[in-house]
């Protein structure tokens, strides 16, 4: 049992260090070596927990992106979507960094994977490549978020949640 707590503590320290470095310097400057150093562990310990910084970012994003993917499983706005959108708005400077550069690629991959899981559960076998359909839905969701967070297009969180959910379901059913 003590081993599990140590593993959890180490993993939490790595995640905290990643968050702090990411917030202070941006994704492009964060390296596994710097994350490990900030967490006061060896670089090999980092790799015992994560395949690399993209793996770490993807795992961290999966939790917060889940309500976007859940739009596939609900007739209305899924529970949790509005609070996540509120969080994105509050932290829009940080979230915009996730929608640029290499971080966007990781964000897109994480969201595409989550959407694909939900499509597969709903549709089973399909003649449409589900990964491609999931990528279209994820890309549309991220584009909506990017436009909204930039301030180029304004609407309420409730309206945005309805747009994201409705458009995602429409693409999935096309």
Same domain for 58 and 143?
Answer: yes
Q: Secondary structure of the chain in the HEC alphabet?
A: CHHHHHHHHHHHHHHHHHHHHHHHHCHHHCCHHHHHHHHCCCHHHHHHHCCCHHHHHHHHHHHHHHHHHHHHHCCCCCCCHHHHHHHHHHCHHHHHHHCCHHHHHHHHHHHHHHHHHHHHHHHCCCCCCHHHHHHHHHHHHHHHHHHHHHCCCCCCHHHHHHHHHHHHHHHHHC
How does pLDDT run across 119-144, given as a tens digit for each residue? 988 876 667 789 999 999 999 999 99
Same domain for 60 and 73?
Answer: yes
Same domain for 42 and 128?
Answer: no
Q: Sort 120 into a burial class: Cβ within 10 Å, 0-12 / 13-18 / 19+.
A: middle
- Tell me the CATH number at 9: 1.10.10.60
- Average pLDDT in the 47-55 region? 95
Of the candidate ranges 28-37, 67-76, 118-127, 158-167, the one whose mean pLDDT is the lowest = 118-127
Q: Sort 54 into a burial class: Cβ within 10 Å, 0-12 / 13-18 / 19+.
A: middle
Same domain for 67 and 84?
Answer: yes
Same domain for 64 and 34?
Answer: no
How does pLDDT run across 83-107, given as a tens digit for each residue? 999 999 999 998 998 999 999 999 9
The range of the structural domain enclosing residue 22 comes to 2-50
pTM, two decimals, is 0.89
Q: Sort 131 into a burial class: Cβ within 10 Å, 0-12 / 13-18 / 19+.
A: middle
Q: Which two tokens stand for residue 62?
A: 């999966």
Same domain for 7 and 70?
Answer: no
Round the average pLDDT of the chain to a whole number and report it: 92
Q: How many structural domains are present in the chain?
A: 2
Same domain for 159 and 109?
Answer: yes
């Amino acid at each position: 049992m003590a081993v599990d707590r140590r593993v959890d503590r180490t993993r939490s320290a790595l995640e905290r260090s990643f968050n702090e470095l990411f917030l202070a310097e941006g994704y492009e400057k964060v390296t596994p070596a710097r994350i490990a150093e900030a967490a006061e562990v060896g670089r090999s310990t980092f790799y015992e927990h994560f395949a690399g910084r993209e793996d770490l970012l993807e795992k961290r994003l999966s939790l917060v992106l889940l309500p976007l993917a859940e739009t596939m499983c609900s007739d209305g706005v899924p529970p949790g979507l509005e609070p996540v959108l509120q969080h994105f708005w509050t932290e829009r400077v940080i979230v915009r960094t996730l929608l640029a550069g290499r971080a966007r690629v990781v964000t897109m991959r994480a969201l595409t994977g989550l959407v694909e899981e939900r499509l597969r559960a709903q549709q089973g076998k399909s003649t449409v490549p589900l990964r491609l359909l999931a990528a279209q839905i994820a890309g549309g969701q991220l584009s909506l978020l990017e436009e909204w967070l930039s301030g180029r297009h304004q609407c309420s969180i409730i309206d945005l949640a309805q747009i994201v959910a409705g458009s995602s379901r429409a693409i999935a059913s096309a």
